[in-house]
């Protein structure tokens, strides 16, 4: 072993120690959070953006396709269904408009970290070029609304309504749905389009309900309290729990506006530079129809120069698997050390800079990109409370109590994230034979392509486990939408009332997911977070498909090309 490798090994050792520290404090994995906002937590279940609920008569009707959720999943699939002549499409949505994530997340500074020309879907169809390299939340929400208008999705949509039960009726071969507004709707096809990160969660902290000040989750930002430009925070002492992607975007604005801001950190995020700029109108003018699809195609299948091909083939032949892993790990550590150096450069106070350094491999947690987050800690009114992996464990009437110090707050903001990729989040899905989907999944998620599950005919799942989301979420949701539209069109063209995956097809896919998950030990080696179920790494099939996006799409193509092999129809 040379000296250089000892350097990398020592850092890896520190990564492992930090992970163990975190796991030691909260060994209970995903159950350290709660999304049950009943009883004393009901104030966290409000919608601050919608108007008062208008009384309305319960709906008792039939539609051909019903979407549970009105975010990008529903919008993208609806567009494809419209192109195939499906007229009867209904979105049922908890919020008061379409948009999903972008309806709820309106915290100050909200923006998307994926380049807008790739992230915002249907740009060709809507003849729209985003305003900036990275789109901000309001522009994305407006784009969602434009899609809904273009494809006439508002006509049948039902907002401020939560689907509570989705039950298969074998005699009618229809889904029967009930909602919290007393509706009883029927649908031939149901698409679970409830999103990947939509149900807010709070950390289970002793005394959570006792805090006497104002508080909310970042996805329910109370602008009445803060003021539209946060101007009402001028005389307020504010605390924020969490330093994930949401907090990183919200903290700069809070730091500028609040009298005092306390940032309660458990694990630091990795923060890289955000290269943003307004879209060049000359570039936008030169774009030809079909540009977005071509751009995505190129990103997925980059053309290599002859020299690059030679370099790649040489390295793959000469390197052993161990050498390759070591090379990749060392490069990853180099990147993280660059992130550390950036912190040292940006943050003046040495102890604060040290506390902001993330000690884990790049991509163990969602990487963040921001130019103003780190400098916020140079402000005299912004205070980092580094809990060194422990997290906040107690809240009193006055605010968080940590390490013997009571933090007296006017406002406490929870930036503690969302439940991850659950299907039917507010809803009980009961399939053939009365089997609840949650009970079926009890011994492990079972799907075909992450989209179909045997025993749930005419039900399609979007954004759920066992699909690949490696490239860009909206792109994959678009591909899932194309696939679902294809399945529905196939059933309609062949006069089939139902389409259900075969048990063999489902078993094949579960095994394919397991085989590809086994390729990496990253889950085990990573510091806990939602990417690895907060350290519950033994959940082998309850995750995304790790075989790569290109292979996932090839499998999807193959399934579409041999429908009779993968599905039963009636």
Binding site for ligand NDP (CB under 6 A): 111-113, 197, 203, 205, 241-247, 249, 264, 266-267, 366, 391-392, 415-418, 529-530
Nearer to ligand NDP, 311 or 363 (CB): 363
From residue 489, how far is each of 65, 450, 498 by CA, in Å?
12, 19, 12
Q: How far apart are CA 317 and CA 310, in angstroms?
A: 11
Q: Which two tokens stand for residue 487?
A: 């399945």
Q: How far apart are CA 322 and CA 473, in angstroms?
A: 31
Q: How far apart are CA 333 and CA 196, in angstroms?
A: 29
Cα 513 to chain center, whole Å?
20
In whole angstroms, how close is the CB of 321 to ligand NDP at the nearest point?
30
Nearer to ligand NDP, 150 or 366 (CB): 366
| Helical ranges in 494-548 per DSSP H | 503-517, 522-525
Nearer to ligand NDP, 15 or 175 (CB): 15
In whole angstroms, how close is the CB of 24 to ligand NDP at the nearest point?
13
Nearer to ligand NDP, 244 or 464 (CB): 244
Nearer to ligand NDP, 425 or 556 (CB): 425
In whole angstroms, how close is the CB of 101 to ligand NDP at the nearest point?
8
Nearer to ligand NDP, 203 or 477 (CB): 203
In whole angstroms, how close is the CB of 374 to ligand NDP at the nearest point?
15
Nearer to ligand NDP, 105 or 166 (CB): 105
In whole angstroms, how close is the CB of 69 to ligand NDP at the nearest point?
16
Q: How far apart are CA 376 and CA 553, in angstroms?
A: 42
DSSP string covering 264-333:
EESSPPPEE-----BPPHHHHHHPPTTHHHHHHHHHHSPPPPHHHHHHHHHHHHH--HHHHHHHHHHHHH
In whole angstroms, how close is the CB of 531 to ligand NDP at the nearest point?
8
In whole angstroms, how close is the CB of 390 to ligand NDP at the nearest point?
8
For residue 242, the number of C-alpha atoms closer than 13 Å in the C-beta half-sphere is 23
In whole angstroms, how close is the CB of 138 to ligand NDP at the nearest point?
14
3-state secondary structure labels for all residues of 359-371: CCCCCCCCCEECC
Residue 229 DSSP symbol: T
Nearer to ligand NDP, 69 or 391 (CB): 391
Q: How far apart are CA 309 and CA 236, in angstroms?
A: 59
Q: How many residues does the chain have?
A: 570
From residue 427, how far is each of 34, 50, 154, 411, 518 by CA, in Å?
17, 21, 23, 32, 32
Nearer to ligand NDP, 188 or 365 (CB): 365
In whole angstroms, how close is the CB of 527 to ligand NDP at the nearest point?
8
């Amino acid at each position: 072993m040379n000296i250089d490798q000892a350097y990398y090994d020592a850092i890896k050792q520190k990564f492992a120690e930090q992970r163990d520290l975190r796991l030691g404090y909260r060994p209970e994995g995903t159950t350290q959070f709660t999304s049950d906002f009943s009883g004393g937590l009901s104030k966290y279940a409000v919608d601050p953006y919608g108007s008062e609920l208008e009384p309305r008569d319960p709906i008792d009707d039939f539609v051909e396709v019903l979407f549970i959720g009105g975010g990008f999943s529903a919008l993208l699939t609806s567009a494809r269904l419209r192109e195939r002549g499906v007229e009867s499409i209904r979105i049922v949505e908890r919020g008061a408009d379409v948009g999903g994530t972008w309806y709820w997340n309106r915290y100050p500074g909200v923006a998307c970290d994926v380049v807008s020309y790739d992230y915002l879907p249907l740009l060709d169809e809507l003849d729209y070029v985003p305003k900036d390299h990275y789109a901000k939340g309001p522009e994305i929400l407006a784009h969602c609304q434009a899609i809904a208008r273009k494809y006439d999705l508002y006509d049948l949509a039902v907002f401020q309504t939560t689907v509570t039960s989705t039950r298969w009726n074998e005699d009618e071969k229809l889904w029967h749905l009930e909602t919290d507004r007393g509706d009883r709707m029927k649908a031939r096809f149901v698409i679970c389009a409830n999103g990947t990160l939509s149900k807010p969660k709070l950390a289970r902290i002793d005394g959570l309900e006792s805090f006497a000040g104002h508080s909310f989750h970042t996805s329910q930002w109370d602008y009445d309290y803060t003021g539209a430009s946060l101007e009402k925070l001028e005389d307020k002492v504010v605390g924020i729990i969490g330093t994930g992607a949401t907090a990183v975007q919200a903290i700069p604005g809070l730091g500028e506006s609040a009298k005092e801001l306390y940032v309660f950190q458990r694990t630091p995020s990795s923060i890289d530079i955000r290269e943003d700029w307004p879209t060049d109108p000359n570039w936008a003018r030169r774009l030809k129809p079909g540009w977005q699809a071509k751009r995505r195609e190129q990103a997925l299948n980059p053309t290599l120069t002859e020299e690059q091909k030679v370099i790649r083939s040489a390295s793959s032949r000469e390197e052993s698997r161990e050498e390759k892993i070591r090379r990749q790990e060392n490069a990853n550590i180099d990147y993280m050390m660059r992130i550390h150096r950036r912190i040292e450069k940006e943050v003046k106070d040495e102890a604060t800079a040290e506390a902001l350094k993330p000690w884990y491999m790049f991509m163990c947690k969602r990487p963040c990109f921001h130019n103003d987050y780190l400098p916020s800690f140079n402000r005299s009114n912004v205070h980092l409370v580094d809990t060194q992996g422990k997290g906040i464990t107690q809240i009193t009437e006055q605010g968080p109590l940590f390490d013997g110090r009571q933090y007296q707050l006017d406002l406490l903001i929870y930036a503690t994230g969302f439940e991850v990729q659950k299907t039917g989040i507010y809803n009980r899905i009961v399939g053939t034979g009365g089997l609840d989907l949650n009970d079926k999944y009890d011994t492990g998620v079972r799907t075909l392509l992450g989209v179909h599950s045997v025993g749930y005919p005419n039900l399609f799942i979007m954004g759920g486990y066992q699909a690949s989301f490696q490239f860009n979420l909206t792109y994959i949701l678009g591909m899932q939408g194309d696939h679902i539209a294809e399945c529905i069109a196939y059933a309609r063209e062949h006069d089939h009332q139902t389409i259900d995956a075969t048990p063999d097809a489902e078993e094949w896919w579960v095994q394919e997911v397991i085989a590809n998950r086994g390729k990496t030990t990253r889950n085990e080696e990573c510091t806990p977070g939602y990417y690895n179920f907060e350290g519950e790494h033994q959940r082998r099939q309850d995750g995304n498909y790790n075989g790569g996006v290109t292979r996932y799409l090839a499998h999807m193509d193959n399934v579409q090309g041999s429908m009779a092999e993968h599905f039963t129809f009636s």
